[in-house]
Amino acid sequence: MAKKKAGKKAARKKTAAKKATRKKTAKRAGRKVSTKKPAVKKTAAKKSARKASKKKAARKTTKKTASARKSAGKKKVAKKAARPMPLGRPKVTLDSKLDELFLKDYEVRQVFEFLKVATLRDLEGHGPDEIVQKLTAPMVQAVARIRKVLALQKRCLKGDEKFAKEFKELMEQQLKRR
C-alpha cells in the first residue's frame, strides 16, 4: 500500500511539472493554456446515444450545406455575369488622361493620337486586336502601293518577282479591254 501511495505521489509531481512547463511555453507563445480534466467513465448506453445524435446532426448539416452550395453556386454565376473582369478596385478613374498615365512612353502616346482617344474610357472601348489592325492597316496598304508601282516600272522587292509578273499581266489585260 505504501508503494502505491509513493507511486501516485511521483506521478502527481510529474504531471504538475508538465503543467507548469506547458503554462510557461504557452505564455511565451501568447496563447491560452487548456488544462485537462480527469476523464469520467461513461456508460455504454450514453455513448451509443451520443453517437446516434451526432450522426443525425451530421446528416442535417450535410443536407443544409449541400443546398447552400447549390444556391451559392447560382448566386456566383449571376455575379460573374454582372462583373466580367474581377480585377479588384481600380487605381485610376475612367476619366483620367492617358497622357498623364503614359507620360514617359512617347510611342504609346502616338498610338493614342492615331486612335484619337484621350481618356481611359475611350481606350477601353477598343480591343487589343482591333488596335493592332488599325495601326498596321495603313502600313499594309502603303506596302501594297509600293509593290504595284514597282511592278509597273518592271521592278520588285526582294523575293517578290511572282507578284510583279502577275500584277503587270493583270494591268496589261485591263488596258487591252479598254
Name the phi and psi angles at 3, rounded to 5.
-70, -40
Residues 6+ apart with CB under 8 A from 122: none
pLDDT given for residue 87 in this prediction: 80
118 pLDDT band (50/70/90 cuts)?
Answer: very high
Angle at 99 between CA 127 and CA 114, to 5 degrees: 50
pLDDT given for residue 89 in this prediction: 86
Quick: pLDDT tens for 74-108. Answer: 555 554 444 455 788 888 888 889 989 999 999 99
Cα 41 from chain centre? 53
Whether pTM > 0.85 for this model: the answer is no
